[in-house]
Amino acid sequence: MTHFIDSTLASGLGFVAMDEVNKVIGEIHAYTPDVYCFSHVLSNLTIAVAPGYQGKGVGRLLLNTFCKTAEEQRSDITRIELFARESNKGAISLYQSLGFKIEGSLTKRIKNQDGSLESDILMAWIRQ
Ligand SMILES: CC(C)(COP(=O)(O)OP(=O)(O)OC[C@H]1O[C@@H](n2cnc3c(N)ncnc32)[C@H](O)[C@@H]1OP(=O)(O)O)[C@@H](O)C(=O)NCCC(=O)NCCS
């Protein structure tokens, strides 16, 4: 967590969603790898909404805010990329609805809790 927060503050973009008593109920972040050739990329976008708050529009609000802010305030960024488990259909359709495209599949990259393997889907948003 400390690494994610430090990297996001240093070179990335991130938001939290809070409820009416300022409890954090969702989070999104991505950051630029510390190498010149990736300086136009926000990578490893990660989003999570607390289980009790899922399915209420919080994830869409976070991702929409993230993409809009990157588009309007980070002209240095032309690519946002992420990985999603192949089975995470809800997240994949959320990303697609906001302009992310599937670029490929990393076969059996993910080991699930039960030991089964599944593919990781690479998706990206490209500035037009
Ligand atoms: C994926 C996640 C961030 C979505 O956040 P959310 O607040 O539940 O999503 P929203 O209520 O804003 O729904 C937005 C869209 O997500 C999709 N979606 C979310 N959960 C879904 C599900 N269980 N089944 C199908 N679609 C789903 C739908 O396309 C939905 O579209 P709609 O707005 O037209 O209804 C959230 O469910 C979560 O934290 N999951 C666990 C962590 C995770 O999987 N993170 C992504 C890793 S790649």
Domain boundaries along the sequence of the chain: 2-126
The per-residue pLDDT for range 65-109, each reduced to its tens digit, is: 999 999 999 999 999 999 999 999 999 999 999 999 999 999 999
49 lines ligand 1 (CB under 6 A): yes
Q: Is 121 helix (H, G, I), strand (E, B) or coil?
A: strand
- CATH number of the domain at 2-126, out of 3.40.50.1220, 1.10.357.10, 3.40.630.30, 3.30.830.10? 3.40.630.30
101 CA from centroid of ligand 1 (Å): 17
Prediction pTM value:
0.94
Please state the atom number of ligand 1 nearest to the C-alpha of residue 97.
Answer: 29
93 lines ligand 1 (CB under 6 A): yes
C-alpha neighbours within 13 Å on the C-beta side of residue 85: 10
Phi, psi for residue 121 in degrees, rounded to 5: -100, 125
